[in-house]
Amino acid sequence: MDPIATILMLLAGLLHATWHAIVKTGSSVSILAGMGLVSSVLTLPFLFFVPAPSPSTWPILLASLVLHAGYKISLATAYRSAEFGRAYPIARGTVPLFATLLAYLGLQQWPHAGQLTGIAVIVVGILGLARDRVHGAIDRRAFAAAILAAAMVAAYSVIDAAGTRQPEGWASFTAWVIVLDSLVFFIVATLQRGPGIMSDIRESLVAVLIAGLLGLTSFAVFLWALSRNPIANVVAFRECSVLFATLIGVLVLKERATPQRLGCAALIAVGLVIVAVLKPV
């Protein structure tokens, strides 16, 4: 990845882990719906300055909306019955594997040997973080939901990468997918939570506003990076968020800092350096 993308993706990783921690500490579905509304309000004016989606882009947008909604529901399910320091690594841990496979099948993009090595190291580190034996085995439903969330992330990453490379450009696709995704998921969340969802959002208004701003910035940077770099590498590098999530879990949420967690965090750091530095030979 180019240096600018590397630096911005590190920042996006920090923002991503932070808003996930906010979602974990409240009513997950309601906060996700509320932060989507914040993102859509901030993004809506940009629709007047970017091209409208072409007929060939609409199927990509629709597929992305379905996958994003499925991801958020899966994530909320995982967070209901598993601690942040376990659900988050699992939900992110297998994303690079899924993304590498889907990028190859859908867009014929395959990372070179050095980058594959970096991706493998990142995955080992993330899955090691997920294997926290301090509190016993993770709830099966939470584990399945986290794995499903990972698959959804990988799938929408490939779909969104295709969208950012449409003739209208990444800015147009980003603006339209943020606004439409926010509205679609608010409808889905309202059907699940009922009329009480607005009360939940009002009670967590500060958290919703902060999460919305962080999520919007993180996602915009992610789509920008996807538009100019190999998908598997961008998705793998995005998982630097697990490093920040480990720190947030320990320092803010008071989760235990075991040697295993710290060692796996170091593994992830090594993998990120490999992905960012090594070039094709």
- CA 93 from chain centre, in angstroms, equals 11
pLDDT tops 70 at residue 280: no
pLDDT reading at 145 higher than 80: yes
Give the dihedral sign, CA 200/203/209/214: negative
Terminal C-alpha separation, the chain: 15
Stretch 226-252: mean pLDDT: 77
pLDDT the model gives residue 137: 53
Give 276's pLDDT tier (boundaries 50, 70, 90): low
> C-alpha dihedral over 257, 263, 268, 272, to 10 degrees?
120
Helix axes 259-277, 241-251, angle to 10 degrees: 160
pLDDT at 148 over 80: yes
The residue among 193 and 278 whose pLDDT is bigger is 193
Tokens representing 127 are 């899955």
Gap between the Cα atoms of 237 and 235, Å rounded: 5
The structure tokens listed for 73 are 């529901």
> Across residues 118-145, what is the average pLDDT?
72
On the question of pLDDT at 161 being above 90, the answer is: no
Answer yes or no: is pLDDT of 179 > 90. yes
Residue 113 has pLDDT above 90, yes or no: no
pLDDT in tens, 12-60: 888 888 888 888 776 678 888 899 899 999 999 999 999 999 999 999 9
pLDDT reading at 207 higher than 70: yes
pLDDT digits (tens, 9 = 90+) for 66-86: 999 999 999 888 888 777 777
pLDDT of residue 150: 87
- Quote the DSSP letter at residue 239: T
- 194 residue type, one letter: G
Under DSSP, the state recorded for 196 is T
Q: What is the pLDDT of residue 98?
A: 80
Q: Choose between 221 and 104: higher pLDDT.
A: 221
Is 238's pLDDT higher than 80? Answer: no
Beta strands in the chain (DSSP E): none
Residue 227 confidence (pLDDT) above 90: no
Q: List Cβ neighbours of 109 (8 Å cut-off, separation of 6 or more).
A: 103, 230, 231, 232
d(CA 42, CA 37): 9
Q: Are 132 and 258 in contact (CB under 8 A)?
A: yes
Question: Read out DSSP for 240-260?
Answer: THHHHHHHHHHHTS-----HH
Q: Sorting pLDDT into bands at 50, 70 and 90, what band is 264?
A: confident
* Cβ-contact 95, 235 below 8 angstroms: yes
